[in-house]
Amino acid sequence: MPIEETLVLVKPDGVARGLTGAILARIEAKGYALVDIRLVEPDRETLERHYAEHEGKPFYEPLLEFMMSGPSVAIRLAGNRVIEGFRSLAGTTDPTTAAPGTVRGDFGRDWGLKVQQNLVHGSDSPESAARELEIWFG
Ligand code: DAT
Ligand code: MG
């Protein structure tokens, strides 16, 4: 059983809406281990590194602005195949159509929604996880 680590962010909308606890409850119920957790207020440079793969895309600037709109919670999370497992728990990127039972499907609001307001981030590969954990936890 490959024990992995991944980076999870509860994004500014999740923190502002008071959903951090509900999201952590799902993570803990799944059995994942919290290795480290902290409240973060990233500067633009940190976010440019984190979202480097999306530079130049139409949603890039609004995404960075949104991520600087308030604090996030950064979590170093460990577990068996946790990289893929957390993304399954999070649901697909657009909350409008994310499956019920997922964080984005259950908590993503249908009204006034922007795709970037999808509550959580999870690394998408072992390479991304290593890179992102270095950015957020050093
Ligand atoms: P994910 O967060 O599911 O890994 P991603 O890496 O493709 O998705 O995109 C990063 C974030 O950018 C995503 O959480 C929300 C935002 N985003 C992605 N596609 C978007 C789009 N078409 N319009 C607006 N925001 C988008
Ligand atoms: Mg991604």
88-97 per-residue burial string, b: 16 or more CB within 10 A, e: under 16: ebbbbeebee
First to last CA, the chain: 26
In ligand 1, the atom with minimum distance to the C-alpha of 114 is: 24
In the reported structure, the alpha carbon of residue 41 is separated from the centroid of ligand 2 by a whole-number distance in angstroms of 19
Mean pLDDT of the chain: 96
Q: Is the CB of 117 under 6 A from ligand 1?
A: no
Averaged pLDDT for residues 40-54:
98
Contact 14/119 with Cβ under 8 angstroms?
yes
Does 50 participate in catalysis according to the annotation?
Answer: no
Residues with CB under 5 A from ligand 2 (ion): 124
Q: Is the CB of 116 under 6 A from ligand 1?
A: yes
Instruction: Look at residue 44 in the predicted model and tell me its pLDDT.
Output: 98
Nearest ligand, measured from the Cα of 118: 1
Residue 2 vs residue 98, higher pLDDT? 98
What ipTM score was computed for the predicted complex, to two decimals?
Answer: 0.97
Output the pTM of the full model.
0.97
Residue 41 vs residue 115, higher pLDDT? 41
Element containing residue 78 per DSSP (H, E): strand 72-80
Instruction: Look at residue 111 in the predicted model and tell me its pLDDT.
Output: 66
Of 63, 107, 121, 122, which is the active-site residue?
A: 121
In the reported structure, the alpha carbon of residue 112 is separated from the centroid of ligand 2 by a whole-number distance in angstroms of 22
Per the annotation, does 109 bind a ligand? Answer: no
In residues, how long is the chain? 138
Domain ranges of the chain: 3-137
CATH superfamily to which 3-137 belongs:
Nucleoside diphosphate kinase-like domain (3.30.70.141)
Percent of the chain with pLDDT over 70: 98
**pLDDT tens figures, 49-89:** 999 999 999 999 999 999 999 999 999 999 999 999 999 99
